[in-house]
A and B are shown apart, each in its own frame.
Chain A
Amino acid sequence: MTVPPGADEAGADEARADEARADQNRADEAMADAERSRFLLQQMLRVRRFEEKCVELYSAAKIRGFMHVYIGEEAVAAGVLANLTPEDAVVATYREHGHALLRGVSAGAILAEMYGFEQGCCRGRGGSMHLFDQATRFFGGNAIVAGGLPLAVGLALADKMAGRSRVTACFFGEGAVAEGEFHESLNLAALWQLPVLFCCENNLYAMGTALARSESQTNIALKAAAYEIPSWQVDGMDVLAVDEGARRAADAVRNGGGPHFLELRTYRFRAHSMYDPERYREKAEVAQWVGRDPIDHLRTSLEDSGGLSAEQWNDLQQDVDSEIAQAVEFAEAGTPEPVDQLTRFTYSDRSAS
């Protein structure tokens, strides 16, 4: 900043002070940005390491049944969930370990659930595809594609009728777009201006069916726009872009702006489930997307800008590794629920109601 000619000494001092404050603000912002970025990096890494451990434990037959991991898509859950408050609600899909973890369900309770133990977040009644948690308002965990969307609409309806400023974030894959429930739910949410944040995790494949093989219109944000819902596409491999998009959308929803829709363009690095021979996509395509790994991408850019020291990266990894190790220890120490409890929770315990 230049001092205008003729300014007195006091004016010049003031201008220098302004400049210093501006510099300080920029430095504070940069530091806050770096801190936010490191937080998001850690969140993604927590999901990545958790999922890698799940695959390992599945291979060791500690976990059985259907299991779907989120490796490659971490930026989506990390970026969106960082913009919710504890009062908000989350509805997710059968690929929801990461969402549960980042929502605040403990890694141990999730893992114990997949072991089928009583210490699991659903006492072993749900398993990998049906994680629920009342304390964090995490409403599943739904194995029926698009089955969670009407629930999210209803949770938001309850909030609106009760006059609460909450957001219900609803995650679903692009495969859900072909279901009637998708269209019914978007229409209801828009018609009644309900506080739902629709998050379409477009990883390009509904199990083995490529988007272009199942949809006449492959721009999903456009479909939402047809219901008069503000919607936009976000690079789901860039957690900072997801964070920014989700912040804008969640703020708008929370402030009475009605439903908003994010099409998060992402990619599943691993197979659909543990039974998938991946005949439907080329290895070169997978390799190309793996080259855009959201964790590597953010780590490199942080390191380049001086926002992540070797020591910080080490500490961050150690924290995550220790969390996962404790989770495994917790799950391993779990116990099966006695079979005489089999029919509990089919109906509410009447004595308690």
Chain B
Amino acid sequence: MKTTYREAMREAIREALQRDDRVFLMGEDVGEYGGCFAVSLGLLEEFGPERIRDTPLSESGFVGAGIGAALGGMRPIIEIMTVNFSLLALDQIMNNAASLQHMSGGQFNVPVVIRMTTGAGRQLGAQHSHSLEGWYAHIPGLRILTPATLADARGMLWTALQDPDPVLIFEHGSLYNTAGEIDDDAGAVDIDTAVVRRAGNDVSLITYGGTLPTVLAAAEQLAEEGIDADVLDLRTLRPLDTGAILATVAKTHRAVVVDEGWRSGSISAEVSARITENAFFDLDAPVGRVCSVEVPVPFARQLEMAALPSVERIVDAAREAVGTHG
């Protein structure tokens, strides 16, 4: 059936609310307004204000309340408008959600799901455009999901809600309008493994989330030049599916990691390090990286576009990797 990323996410929330009485959605403007990005449009009318719960502008307060409600036996879905706002709740996410189980010696796990929009490309200026999922992937105790496809938008949430530990879902803002087909009976998907989205033998392009469409476009362009790229969608940034990363590198012997986060201290750095630690002798070229330029994301369109990974930069990096010993 036809759907969009936004509708797929909404269906996932609706299904969760229908299947489990403990599930509720809480966040700023999720109810009356219909969701900042219209993901929850119509759910208030269907499920009522107890379960589609509008909150004051108190990120730390309502994220912490979600963590507390999870401790109290509920299965909350917390929506934070954008990743930058999540910094106001970082204390609760890191010091409580990620730490309680360990500090309590295994007595208190926190089955909360926190969703937020991430990423640039829509001229929203620095404070609404950053990609901080790599930061969150630094924190033990969290699971970090980055659905990039319609099927993952539809299927990751239910699996995340079955997880006994805190799960953060990062939805790239440029994906919400993505339209396409999914199976009529599309449902829960696994959240443990990376997936090859395009098979090829010449170079591995490793990415996740909002840059997957850009990388697939770059792969098509490379194909026209006779370079056949293997595109790996990481899907989950923590824990990383190291096996899948090593498998694609074993096949192509060349890798370019594409990440909308900044280069220094990024998830792309972690992927690159795992390749060199584990597959150094499989490599025919240095691991390449295409990341955002290290600047707060600017408003002006040409500057913003220049800051982000582009088809052109990805193609260049792939050519370089292939050309080194090609």
Q: Is B280 an interface residue, CB under 8 A from the partner?
A: no
Q: Is A140 an interface residue, CB under 8 A from the partner?
A: yes
CB distance from A256 to the nearest CB of B (A): 16
Enumerate chain B residues within 8 angstroms of A345, measured Cβ to Cβ: 101-102, 104-106
Q: Is B68 an interface residue, CB under 8 A from the partner?
A: yes
Evaluate contact between A150 and B24: CB separation under 8 angstroms: no
Evaluate contact between B65 and A153: CB separation under 8 angstroms: yes
User: With contacts A157-B69, A187-B58 known, is A150 near B63, CB below 8 A?
Assistant: yes
Evaluate contact between B102 and A125: CB separation under 8 angstroms: yes
Evaluate contact between A140 and B64: CB separation under 8 angstroms: no
| Residue in A124, A141, A158 whose Cβ sees the most chain B Cβ within 10 Å | A158
| Residue in B55, B69, B164 whose Cβ sees the most chain A Cβ within 10 Å | B69
Q: Is B296 an interface residue, CB under 8 A from the partner?
A: no
Q: Is A257 an interface residue, CB under 8 A from the partner?
A: no
How far does the alpha carbon of A178 sit from the alpha carbon of B68 in the complex, in Å?
A: 22
* Size bracket of the B interface: 35 or more
How far does the alpha carbon of A120 sit from the alpha carbon of B103 in the complex, in Å?
A: 12
* Size bracket of the A interface: 35 or more
CB distance from A345 to the nearest CB of B (A): 4
Q: Is B283 an interface residue, CB under 8 A from the partner?
A: no
How far does the alpha carbon of A124 sit from the alpha carbon of B62 in the complex, in Å?
A: 30
Enumerate chain A residues within 8 angstroms of B70, measured Cβ to Cβ: 154, 158
Q: Is A149 an interface residue, CB under 8 A from the partner?
A: yes
CB distance from B85 to the nearest CB of A (A): 13
CB distance from A155 to the nearest CB of B (A): 4
CB distance from B231 to the nearest CB of A (A): 29
Q: Is B302 an interface residue, CB under 8 A from the partner?
A: no
Q: Which of B76, B96, B106, B109 sits near A123, CB closer than 8 Å?
A: B106
Q: Is A188 an interface residue, CB under 8 A from the partner?
A: yes
Within 8 A of A (CB), among B117-168: 140-141, 143, 164-165
Binding site for A on B (CB under 8 A): 24, 50, 55-56, 58, 60-74, 76, 91-92, 95-96, 100-109, 140-141, 143, 164-165
List 13 A–B pairs whose Cβ atoms lie within 8 Å, in order of A's numbering.
Answer: A122-B103, A126-B103, A126-B105, A132-B100, A134-B104, A134-B108, A139-B108, A151-B71, A161-B24, A188-B58, A188-B62, A347-B101, A347-B141
